[in-house]
A and B are shown apart, each in its own frame.
Chain A
Amino acid sequence: MIKTWLGQHWFVFNLTLKRLVSEPVANLLSILVMGIAISLPAGIYTLVENLHTLSGYTQTAPQISLFMKQDSTRQDMDNIRVRLEENTRVAGYLYVPKDQALYQLQLDNGFDKAVQNLAHNPLPDAFIVDAENISTDVIEQLLTEMKTWPEIEHVQFDSAWAERLAALLDFGRIFVFILFTMLSIAIVAIMFNTIRLQILTRQKEIEVSKLIGASDSFIRRPFLYFGAIQGFAGGVTAWLIIVYVIQVLNDEIRTIAGLYALDLQLQPPDHGDIISLLFFAAWLGWLGARVSVASHLRHIELR
């Protein structure tokens, strides 16, 4: 039973490959069109993901400054330390005692005169905290939590650029999503038309098969395979395009980054993304074929 079933599918798979090869130019062109259409959103997605990873590694990752109350004790410091260490949203922290802060102020900004005139150190002890991740959610949660800590006088966060970056990434993702949706519709439409033409040229075969007892699923099968295989090939093309473009961009980046002694490289999509891409492309082809077959097979009359 299973063997027969597999045999039938294997037969249709081979038949479809033969049909693809029998019209190489036309089929390669449609595969190329699909590949380009998919590579646009998938390529931008890859860039956005790269930007996301890069932003996680930059030294200028967003930092939260915690200023202690002026009269805080050693015990208070330790409380904060424990809480920071236990918090999973904290990647790391740095303790800056008030003496060191004052000394730094003297050194950095030429305030030495002004500082010498001070009767006592007006600066508080401080912690500089690195968030585990720059997403606004994580930072928002951290900020609200820290504001409730009684030892803390003031929580300061320079959120402007982190928010801007996060917004840019969000924008990029929405853009990719819209592009993906539109081009997916385009691919389904292309496949709809391809299959319509195929059904026209295979009208006799369909008619004869129906006359001698073929079920609708038997008649549909080669067309669905055709759609899925062509979609899959389109996905592979898109993948190759993306890998190639990334390579070209990386050569360019290497030259520029070299000037600034930076080690920046764009990463190609990972295995999970590639597999999703291929299956999504195959599914789109299948869907276009399915819709086409549903709307065109009905019109084939038996004589």
Chain B
Amino acid sequence: MIQFNHVSKRFPDGYMALSNIDLTIETGEMAFVTGHSGAGKSTLLKLIAAIERPTSGSITINGQNIAQLKPAALPLLRRKIGFVFQDHKLLFDRNVFENVLLPLQISGFDRNTAASRVRAALDKVDLLKKEKVMPVTLSGGEQQRLCIARAVVHRPTILIADEPTGNLDTVYAKDIMAMFYSFHQVGVTVLIATHDASLLEDNHHRIIALQHGKLAA
């Protein structure tokens, strides 16, 4: 369970990106975060992985207040989370395989287990044939799928995706969404930020709408 209690985030330049957010996301829930550009969607997601720290209020994950975690405890928190970054954050001096391998190296998997998991993840996003390729040569959509593979390869219990379908055509976007649903179905908490209205059509999951850093009524 992820809980926001009166959470505000003011950036050092004084800009109030989020104010007084109260929010509960149940374990295993799937939810969408929507809102205009600059509404604070990315900031909200980053707070969960402690990439940004709140200015006030508390954020608890399974009862643990992550606003109070010591820097040394952050790695363990982040390893439980899979994060699809809005700007991908791929490493361009490593090939596709090595990019997906990184989270497993960080968690200390042995080579063989790691290699088979990487291939399984690449297979899911249909990039297995490109495992030796450098990311620069991938299309925007392929880079996005690579980023998704890296986010799920270590089987996180929380999956956070910031605009995961931004560069994808409708067919791929549907495939990717189907992947997120399947993670949700095996009990993973899934949180997706998007302003792609088509993703929200005929969808029975919760929509968390942000407007200028506040929860829209």
Please report A residues at the B interface, Cβ cutoff 8 Å. 3-5, 7-8, 11, 204-205, 207-209, 211-216, 218, 302-303
Contact between B91 and A11, CB atoms less than 8 A apart: no
Given A8, A204, A303, which contacts B108 in the complex, CB threshold below 8 Å? A8
Contacts of B109 in A (CB 8 A): 4
Contact B85 A211 (CB under 8 A): yes
Is the CB–CB distance between A11 and B106 below 8 Å? no
Q: Given A3-B110, A7-B110, A218-B106, is A211 in contact with B75 using a C-beta cutoff of 8 Å?
A: no
Nearest-neighbour CB distance to chain A for B46, whole angstroms, equals: 8
Verify B85–A209 contact, CB threshold 8 A: no
* Contact call B103/A208, Cβ cutoff below 8 A: no
A213-B75, A213-B78 known; A8 and B51 CB under 8 Å?
Answer: no
Interface SS, A side: helix
CB distance from B53 to the nearest CB of A (A): 10
Most buried by B among A3, A5, A8, A11: A8
Is the Cβ of B106 less than 8 Å from the Cβ of A214?
A: yes
Cα separation A303 to B78 with both chains bound (whole Å): 15
Report the separation of the CA atoms of residues A7 and B74 in the bound assembly, to the nearest whole angstrom: 24
Which residue of A4, A205, A212 is within 8 Å of B78 (Cβ)? A212
Taking CB atoms, residues of chain A closer than 8 Å to B51 are 211, 302-303
Chain B residue with the shortest CB-CB distance to A205: B91
A211 near B78 (CB under 8 angstroms)?
A: yes
Nearest A residue to B107 via CB reads A213
Give complex CA distance A208, B85 in Å: 10
- Whether B106 lies near A7 (C-beta < 8 A) is no
A209 B102 Cβ-Cβ under 8 A = yes
Report B-chain residues with C-beta under 8 Å of the C-beta of A3.
110
Q: How far is the CA of A213 from the CA of B105 in the complex (A)?
A: 10
17 extra interface residue pairs, beta carbon distance < 8 Å, beyond A212-B83, A215-B106: A4-B110, A8-B108, A11-B105, A204-B89, A204-B91, A205-B93, A208-B89, A209-B102, A211-B83, A211-B89, A212-B78, A213-B74, A213-B76, A213-B103, A213-B106, A213-B107, A216-B72
Q: Flag whether B36 is at the interface (Cβ < 8 A).
A: no
Which residues of chain A have C-beta atoms less than 8 A from B75's C-beta? 213-215, 218
